[in-house]
Amino acid sequence: MIALRIFTEEGKQEFIKYIQDTRSNSSTPRPDLNMVPYSLEFQPRVEISENLDFATRMDMGRYLSKCFQNAGISKQDVIGPGKEDLWTWFAYIWFDRITNNRQSIREIARYVCSSDYTDYYRHYVASLYYLFFFLGEKECHLFLYSPPYQHNDFIEQFASRQYIIAYPEIIKVAHRLYWDSGNRSPKRGAQSRRRLGNHRRLIKIIGQLELTYDIYTMSPDEILNLLPSEFNEWKR
């Protein structure tokens, strides 16, 4: 176990250098940045395990939620302006988990958290906690079923649009349409651009409906009833 920490600017730059070096050589030793001047201990004290194996991003979200809840830490304590270096530190200690043991290293925004929302949702740890907390465990399966080192296309398409992800009723519609609770996975073909009523079409239709309806105040049932017939297959 290790005490939760927050990166300083110096620590963040060292982490970025480590990411870049590891792209060239996956055996690059991870520097110890859990000390001043690279990071500072978060208050109140929270202990985090570095060595847990998370099968899915949902598991990671549950773990973080439990750790914060047990320590009496609220969403406001860890989400919002000025908290980005906390999430960057999480990416540092769980780097092997979110890169498939350094075999899948992607762009810096996946590991270094940004205050810009267009990049914030890309962060592998900050985004999953935000979705888990904001949507609740019941409604976030569609976004967090993937392994810790994968962003699925539901996140890419929905979470990247604040005008959609900020309205839980719309997310409930997507969950009802595309999540197979029996198999605990998305319905087959839900992410295919070739299928009628796919998730990208839903985003487009929502944009059209809002021109005529006050869709952001409607219930999931009301929204579902407005969808064209191409979505009937997904309603079953």
- Domain extent listing, the chain: 1-150, 152-236
Q: Nearest 5°: phi and psi at 42?
A: -75, 145
For residues 56-62, give the mean pLDDT: 93
Confidence of residue 157 (pLDDT cuts 50, 70, 90): confident
Confidence of residue 116 (pLDDT cuts 50, 70, 90): confident
Determine the pLDDT at residue 219: 92
Taking 90 as the threshold, does the pLDDT of residue 17 lie above it? yes
| Rounded Cα distance, 106 and 97, in Å | 13
Determine the pLDDT at residue 32: 96
Nearest one of 191, 65, 55 to 135, comparing CA atoms: 65
Confidence of residue 12 (pLDDT cuts 50, 70, 90): very high
| Rounded Cα distance, 166 and 176, in Å | 17
Nearest one of 123, 129, 178, 172 to 154, comparing CA atoms: 178
For residues 104-118, give the mean pLDDT: 90
Confidence of residue 182 (pLDDT cuts 50, 70, 90): confident
Determine the pLDDT at residue 86: 96
